[in-house]
């Protein structure tokens, strides 16, 4: 089993290779393992999640000082989000309203 330092280094390398922004601080070994698996899966699938039906095409970013844990990993401040990262446009709108996400 890899230790946290090894998993963090691997996650950072995979994220850099795919152009994904991640935040690993405070994650447990299990969470880091899942993050690495997710990043490896994204790398194998061509990095980008598929566009969801009904995706408005608007660009959304994580607000400064915030981070969100989503299916493809942790997205830190300034990281791009799409409807397909969540389940619905309504969820994305709720995050905008609460200040965690900004339209760009």
pLDDT tens digits for 68-90?
888 778 888 888 887 777 767 78
Please state, in angstroms and rounded to a whole number, the distance separating the CA atoms of residues 18 and 75. Answer: 13
CA 26 and chain centroid, separation: 16
pLDDT digit string (tens) for 26-37?
888 888 888 888
Tokens of 39: 């990043």
Does 58 share its domain with 85?
yes
As to burial, measured by CB atoms within 10 angstroms (0-12 exposed, 13-18 middle, 19+ buried), residue 18 is middle
Does 13 share its domain with 61?
no
Q: What is the pTM of this model?
A: 0.46
Does 27 share its domain with 78?
no
Does 66 share its domain with 93?
yes
The total of structural domains in the chain comes to 2
- Bridge-based pairing of strands 101-103 and 60-62 is antiparallel
Neighbours of 22 (CB within 10 A): 23
């Amino acid at each position: 089993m890899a230790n946290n330092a090894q998993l963090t280094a691997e996650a950072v390398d995979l994220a850099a290779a795919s152009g994904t922004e991640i935040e690993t601080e405070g994650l447990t070994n299990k969470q880091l393992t899942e993050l690495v698996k997710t990043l490896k899966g994204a790398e194998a699938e061509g990095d980008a999640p598929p566009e969801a039906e009904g995706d408005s095409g608007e660009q959304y970013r994580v607000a400064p000082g915030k981070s969100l844990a989503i299916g493809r990993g942790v997205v830190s401040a300034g990281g791009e989000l799409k409807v397909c990262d969540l389940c619905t446009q309504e969820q994305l709108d709720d995050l905008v309203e609460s200040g965690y996400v900004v339209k760009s």
